[in-house]
Amino acid sequence: MLIKGGKTIVSIQHSKEEDYLGRMIWKTAKTILDRNKNHTSIEKIISVNILYFNSCIGKGYVYKGEISFKDWQSIQTSELIVARDIFPEYYLINVENFDNEAKNELDEWIYFFKHNEIREGAVSKILATTKERLSVTKMTEKERQEYEQYLNESKINVSVLQNIKQEGINQGVYQEKIEVAKKAIMKGLKIELIMEMTGLTFKEVEKLMSECKLT
C-alpha cells in the first residue's frame, strides 16, 4: 500500500485519546524489543495508524513521520547516510479528513475505511476481489473460512483484529464493542473470533447475530 519491507503494525483507533501518539510510539518500541534479541538484529518497524476521530494534527488525511539526521552546523541540507534502514516510520491516516476523492490506490483503501464499502470503479485488485467477497450473507461455512484466510493474505489480518481490540475496544465503551461486533458479523467472521476481538460473551454475540439477520 505505502511501504515495502520491514514489519508493519496496523492500529485502528475509534475513540479519541489525548496521548494516542504516546501509545503509537510505545507499541513500536515494544515490538522492537519483543522481536529482537539484541541491537544487532533490529529490523525496520512501520506503524500505520488509522484514526476515526479528529486528531487535530492538521487538515490533511495522511501524515508520515520518520527519523533523519542532518548536519546541525552546516547551512546546506546534508543528511547522514546510514548503513541499514532500521529507523521506524509512522503513518497517521485521519479517516475523518478524507475528502472522498480517490486519486490513487491508497485513497481507495481510505474510502473503504471511512464508508465500510468499496468505491465504484476502484482500480485496486485486492479491493476488487474484496468487493465480491463482502456479500457474506450468501457465503457457505467453507466460503467464510476461505474469506478469513483471504483477510490474512491481503494484509487485513489477525494483527489488525488484535489491534482493534487493544486500541479501540479497551476504551471501555460498551456501545463501541457492539458496533465493532456488528461489522464483524456482517463480514461473516466466526463467533469465537468476534468474542476475542470485542470481549463480548457468547450470548451477547449470538443475540447480535440474530438482530443482524432481522435487519
Sign of the alpha-carbon dihedral angle for 158, 162, 163, 164: positive
- What pLDDT shows up at residue 154? 52
DSSP string, 124-193: -HHHHHHHHHT-GGG--HHHHHHHHHHHHHTT--HHHHHHIIIIIGGG--HHHHHHHHHHHHHTT--HHH
Confidence (pLDDT) at 132: 58
Which pLDDT score is estimated for 106?
83
The 3-state DSSP composition of the chain as helix, strand, coil percent (nearest 5) reads 50, 15, 40
pLDDT in tens, the chain (215 residues): 444 456 788 877 776 777 788 888 998 898 888 887 788 888 888 888 888 877 667 788 888 988 887 777 776 656 667 777 888 999 888 888 888 888 888 888 888 888 777 777 666 666 666 665 555 545 667 766 776 666 555 544 445 555 555 554 454 556 777 888 888 888 888 888 888 877 888 988 988 888 887 55
Name residue, grid cell 467464510: 144
Q: What is the pLDDT of residue 166?
A: 54
Angle, nearest 10°, between helix axes 191-198 and 202-214?
A: 110
Q: Which residue shows C-alpha cell 552546516?
A: 74
C-alpha dist (Å) from residue 16 to 131, 142, 189: 29, 38, 26
**Spatial distance between the Cα atoms of 41 and 164, rounded to a whole number of angstroms:** 29
Partners of residue 63 on adjacent β-strands: 92
For residue 177, give Cα distances in angstroms to 13, 184, 212: 12, 11, 15
User: Grid cell 497517521 — which residue?
Assistant: 92
SS3 48: strand
